């Protein structure tokens, strides 16, 4: 029988033991499900925002605070690496594109009143895409009339004409 050792090291065995396996990563289905749910929420928020729904209404339907919805919108715009004015332009273009599809469908179904809407929407889309109305140079403003010169010293010193009686001025002419 072998004599017990006094050290804490175990006796060396002729076969090396394999290293312990690392713990398994978090369950991928759960992590994927959370990411999917977040992505779907962001997509719903963007769709509602594009449709013109207010931030307060979006917050109510998603059961979030208004502040959190605004944070999500800011994050979405930041991830697109777009400055806020350009992000607003993209949002407006998306809204106008949706409205254009509806108006075009109505026009194709025979609603001639929709033609006016299509023309207006096309103008707005052109404006947001940078194809605004051509600036026509206005005719130059006419030159102002020449200024009158100051009265001469002689006129200033001259005596005024004697005043005539109104009856004499407005007397009917005799022939």
The pLDDT value given to residue 63: 92
Per-residue pLDDT reduced to its tens digit, 146-173:
777 777 777 777 777 667 676 676 677 7
- 3 state SS of 96: helix
Domain coordinates of the chain in residue numbers? 32-81, 82-132
Q: What is the dihedral of CA 141, 143, 144, 148, to 10 degrees?
A: 180
Q: Is the pLDDT of residue 49 over 60?
A: yes
Distance CA 147, CA 151 (A): 12
Average the pLDDT over 25-35 and give the result: 75
pLDDT-derived band at 60, boundaries 50, 70, 90: very high
Burial of 69 (0-12, 13-18, 19+ CB in 10 A): buried
Alpha carbons 115 and 132: distance in angstroms, whole number: 20
Structural element, H or E, at residue 108: helix 84-108
pLDDT tens, residue by residue, 64-86:
999 999 999 888 877 764 455 66
| pTM > 0.85: yes or no | no
In the predicted model, what is the mean pLDDT of the chain? 76
Residue 99 confidence (pLDDT): 83
Q: Look at residue 82 in the predicted model and tell me its pLDDT.
A: 46
């Amino acid at each position: 029988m072998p004599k017990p050792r006094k050290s804490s090291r175990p006796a060396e065995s002729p076969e090396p033991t394999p290293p312990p396996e690392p713990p398994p990563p978090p369950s991928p289905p759960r992590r994927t499900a959370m990411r999917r749910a977040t992505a779907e929420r962001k997509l719903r928020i963007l769709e509602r925002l594009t449709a013109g729904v207010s931030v307060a209404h979006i917050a109510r339907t998603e059961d979030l605070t208004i502040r959190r919805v605004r944070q999500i919108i800011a994050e979405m715009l930041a991830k697109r690496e777009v400055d806020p004015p350009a992000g607003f332009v993209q949002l407006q273009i998306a809204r106008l594109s949706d409205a254009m599809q509806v108006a075009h469908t109505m026009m194709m179904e025979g609603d001639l009143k929709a033609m006016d809407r299509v023309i207006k929407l096309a103008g707005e889309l052109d404006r947001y895409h940078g194809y605004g109305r051509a600036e026509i140079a206005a005719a130059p403003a006419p030159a102002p009339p020449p200024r009158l010169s100051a009265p001469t010293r002689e006129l200033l010193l001259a005596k005024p004409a004697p005043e005539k009686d109104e009856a004499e001025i407005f007397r009917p002419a005799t022939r």
